[in-house]
Amino acid sequence: MPLVHISLRAGKPDAWRQAIFDGVYQALRDTFDVPEDDQFMTIHEHVPANFRYGARCFGIERSDDLVYIQLTVNDTRTTDQKKALYRRLAGLLAENPGLRPQDVFINLVEVSTENWSTGNGLATFV
């Protein structure tokens, strides 16, 4: 049950943004075994003055196409699954919409299963 927040600079066409949604969803299906139709994602677009990044931080050359992808997930995945997600996501986004792997910044936020209510006022996973 990932909840995904994607941030990028404003101005990309709809097809670019939809390809990011599709790539994130496919990577999650492939590596985290999320169920079909488990797609809870938003994209936040920022004017350049409201989008800052370290262009060379950690020895990675980033561009203005940088995309932040933050995923809130259950704390049930292994380190190997997380590494597989990072690789798969960067690979899929390189294929479509053509995003350089250097411009894919991923952050996982892990929470306990009791921290989700996906509707009806119920603790979904407890």
Does the annotation mark 2 as catalytic? yes
- 3-state secondary structure (DSSP) of residue 119: coil
Domain assignment of residue 123, yes or no: no
Catalytic residue among 2, 13, 35, 97: 2
For residue 109, what are the domain limits? 3-115
Q: pTM for the complete prediction?
A: 0.94
The answer to whether the CB of 32 falls within 8 A of the CB of 106 is no
User: pLDDT by residue (tens digit) across 31-69?
Assistant: 999 999 999 999 999 999 999 999 999 999 999 999 999
For 19, other C-beta atoms within 10 Å of its C-beta total 19
Region 74-83: mean pLDDT is 96
The tally of domains found in the chain comes to 1
Strands (E), the chain: 3-9, 41-46, 67-74, 104-111
> d(Cα 24, Cα 30) in Å, to the nearest integer?
10
Looking at residue 30, which CATH number applies to its domain? 3.30.429.10
